[in-house]
Chains A and B, each alone.
Chain A
């Protein structure tokens, strides 16, 4: 577990632009708008909520919003790597639950919080690796495999925990959840670091190019000697790793490991990826897009809550926005 809080996100925007053609060409390109639907949506929401409920724009609320978004941002990054290979990871939220329970059990057994965190992340990464191995070696569709591990991992979590929540009273996690550095809380810095690392991995390494090639045209990629199976396994393992980080943030936030799946985390991670302009058919991805998509979904829930809209309407609003975004992208392509 690392908290690289020194990593200031100064160069994020510049690095994103460098990977693309000139700015004026971009603005005339309809697929640019599809790629950045999440940004446009987020700005729109901020304007609407800012006018209708000025509290929305208060520093305190914005900080709370970012804190609430951190877990979803990290999960969306993991989902992005998988979706970029033209796959999907349905076991993501279940892996978060398993990671949380392992964290709780190891901590409760007195092995120390650091070992607990390491084992939690190792376990969720192993779930991801298993997904990738079954999909490639077993030649089973990603949807079926991750649906299977979703159920299997849920069962494993229930068996391990006996169905009971486990309190985690660690000062380290408490500091992680409530402490802050500069303007942001530690969880926000964790999310920012994850965005930076993932962005570099996707745009500035051979792995990133091979990932997009594998997702784009798998036969062409393997004809050129790219080991597409390894790339896919790596993508699912990254997804599992992100689930582990999210599990740490979740346990830190609520102070206990709950043996129940937060299904909205899974659905919202896919929604954020779609809003972020990542093609569900693979081959086309960004990290900033889904991260901002996750922010947008969190802002939507936050704003509706401030406007005193019943919580029952929130899933409806999220669903409508995601389908709308997908429709807009369909027409623009």
Chain B
């Protein structure tokens, strides 16, 4: 177990210092320092209510922290809302996935980023180009999808998760944030999503992964940060830790 690092180094894509957030009298987390290195998968673990999700939501602009500094790509206080975060290059795979059931796979992949061709004053959707690029995006991450013209409603939980991750990665994001990406999935689907996260890492996309599955975190991540009762209590390299140590860190038994 190493000490919590308090200076964001140059190879950090996203970092924070002294971050605190309260909701009324309820303390979500206090004085948190955290950093995610470029090109790595960084995991945040902790028990339910430890403050992981709120921390992540502060980092991507959903909540505004009460105190502390956030750095993205070297910039201080980078964004005021999720839309700015998205434009800056942080894509969040939401826990509810933010997919539109009645739209097709291709439409979801290009939602609010539609390709249009201009005919005089008209801007018409270039469906053919979007379908082609959608197929390319899916195959780059080896995602199996019968048809990009299928409505998302028909897809399984794993396929939906894959589309959501593919959309996040396909937009040229510098950092993809995933909150419990396999929480609702079966064994096989979980394995597929894990393979997908590895492929993202191979393509040099930085990933922040929130999870409380310790085995999964050790399999996937490079660096693990541990939260307990609203504080960041430890950070370890995944290669240098054991499941037992993580359990001890999360529960405070160490």
A residues lining the B interface (CB < 8 Å): 18-21, 200, 203-206, 208-210, 212-213, 216-217, 219-221, 223-226, 279, 283-284
Contact = CB atoms under 8 A, between A and B. Distances in A.
A210 B124 contact: no
Interface residues of B, number: 25
Contacts of A205: 116, 122-125
Given A205-B125, A216-B102, A223 B149 contact: no
Given A20-B149, A223-B94, A225-B86, A216 B112 contact: no
A217 B125 contact: no
B100 A219 contact: no
Contact of B111 (A19, A20, A224): A224
Interface in B95-131: 96-103, 107, 111-112, 114, 116, 122-125, 127
Nearest to A221: B100
Contact of B98 (A203, A224, A283): A224
A276 to B, nearest CB: 15
Contacts of A221: 100, 111
Given A213-B103, A225-B112, 7 more contacts: A204-B125, A213-B112, A220-B100, A223-B98, A224-B98, A224-B112, A283-B103
Contact of A225 (B83, B125, B150): B83
A217 B101 contact: yes
B101 A283 contact: yes
Main secondary structure on B side of the interface with A: loop
B68 interface: no
B119 to A, nearest CB: 10
Contact of B112 (A20, A203, A210): A210
B125 A213 contact: no
B124 A216 contact: no
Contacts of B144: none
24 contacts: A21-B150, A206-B114, A206-B116, A206-B125, A208-B125, A209-B111, A209-B125, A212-B100, A212-B103, A213-B100, A213-B111, A216-B100, A216-B102, A217-B98, A217-B101, A220-B94, A220-B98, A220-B100, A223-B98, A224-B111, A225-B82, A225-B83, A225-B112, A283-B103
Nearest to B126: A204
B98 A212 contact: no
Nearest to A215: B102
A225 B61 CA distance: 13
Candidate in A18, A203, A216 with the most chain B CB atoms within 10 angstroms: A216
B171 to A, nearest CB: 10
B98 A209 contact: no
Contact of B82 (A20, A208, A210, A223): A223
A216 B149 CA distance: 17
A90 B100 CA distance: 27
Contacts of B101: 216-217, 283
B132 interface: no
A35 to B, nearest CB: 11
